[in-house]
Amino acid sequence: MSGVTRVAPFDRLMRPVHQWVWSGAERRVRKLLTFAEVETDGGRDILRAAEVTSDPLLRRLYLEHAIDELHHGDLFRDRGTTLWRGRHGTREVQLNGNPLPGGHGLDDLRIEGEPDDRLLAFLHVAEKSAAGRFALYRELVDDDPPTREIFEKILRDEVFHMNYTYTQLARISPQAYRRQVWNARAKRLWNRYLRAAAAIAGVFGSVMLTAIYFVVLPPFAWFARRAERREPIGFTPIERRRQQPSPGAQY
């Protein structure tokens, strides 16, 4: 596999949006801190993979990979915290969501019950995607040399992760490694589709509820007010049609 990282066409297409995300100081801080969480969680998952694999070489590589991911999390967290404190002092930052997806997408990673070939294929696809996206991010933070330096360092690690996963996948599954990579790409694409569909459904549901509130409910409110004007003011006496027996009459 080539060590040259290429930005995916979709990310190139979305470059203006990525540029908008990184141009804002608040958004930049949240993006860095979100990356810190993703990298740290991914490192823990890969540590678990090192525990369950029976291949000694993969165990060593997984451990090195996990250490890199945990270190990346520290780098992103330290940089994000530094930028935040430079603007807001010691006030704690609140992560209210991620403007755009980024990093590895290792939230989709499942360790238990996954054979090494499928795990390596997933990691290869995720690392290749992350390398291309980090290469783009490196271009967008030219105004912030310390952040750019972090991306350059992490990008070198991502290229190593991308290459070793492909090499080891070809070693343990020489007959089917290409198919495993395509399956991992299809699964990743399907998971992205599900997330996008859920987000679109949420937006559609909000629009529908808003339309119901402003279109359907006003006629009911108008009828309720009209009926209210017909009602007499105060209590309305209830006519007693028959004499109610005394509670002690049966005795």
Residue indicated by tokens 């915290």: 81
Residue 249 included in any domain: no
Rounded Cα distance, 96 and 237, in Å: 56
Residue 1 included in any domain: no
pLDDT digits 0-9 by tens, 141-166:
988 999 999 999 999 999 999 999 99
Model pLDDT, residue 90 = 55
Alpha helix (H) ranges present in 141-248? 145-172, 177-211, 217-230
Residue 62 included in any domain: yes
Residue 218 included in any domain: no
Q: How many residues are given for the chain?
A: 251
Q: Which candidate, 49, 160, 147, 63, places its Cα nearest to that of 106?
A: 49
Q: What is the token pair recorded at 83?
A: 């930028």
Rounded Cα distance, 46 and 63, in Å: 7
Residue 224 included in any domain: no
Residue 231 included in any domain: no
Number of domains in the chain: 1
Residue 182 included in any domain: yes
Output Rg (C-alpha) for the chain, integer angstroms: 29
Rounded Cα distance, 118 and 177, in Å: 9
**Contact between residue 125 and residue 185 where contact means Cβ atoms under 8 Å apart:** yes
- Region of 27 please: left (phi>0), alpha (psi -120 to 50) or beta: alpha
b/e burial code for range 50-85 (CB count within 10 A of at least 16 → b): beebeeeebeebbebbbebbbbbbebbbebbbebbe
Model pLDDT, residue 247 = 61
pLDDT digits 0-9 by tens, 207-242:
888 888 788 778 877 777 877 777 777 676 766 665
CATH number at residue 23: 1.20.1260.10
pLDDT digits 0-9 by tens, 103-139:
555 555 677 778 889 999 999 999 998 888 899 999 9
Q: Which residues contact 87 (CB under 8 A, 6 or more apart)?
A: 25, 29
Please name the amino acid found at residue 7.
V
Rounded Cα distance, 97 and 94, in Å: 9
Question: How far is CA 249 from each of CA 210, 240, 241, 244, 246, rounded to the nearest angstrom?
Answer: 58, 19, 19, 10, 5
pTM (2 decimals)? 0.71
Residue 86 included in any domain: yes
Q: Which candidate, 108, 114, 177, 137, places its Cα nearest to that of 5?
A: 137
> Domain residues for 170?
9-198
Measured at the CA of 247, the angle between CA 243 and CA 251, to 5 degrees, comes to 115
Please name the amino acid found at residue 127.
E
pLDDT digits 0-9 by tens, 16-50:
888 898 888 889 999 999 999 999 999 999 999 99
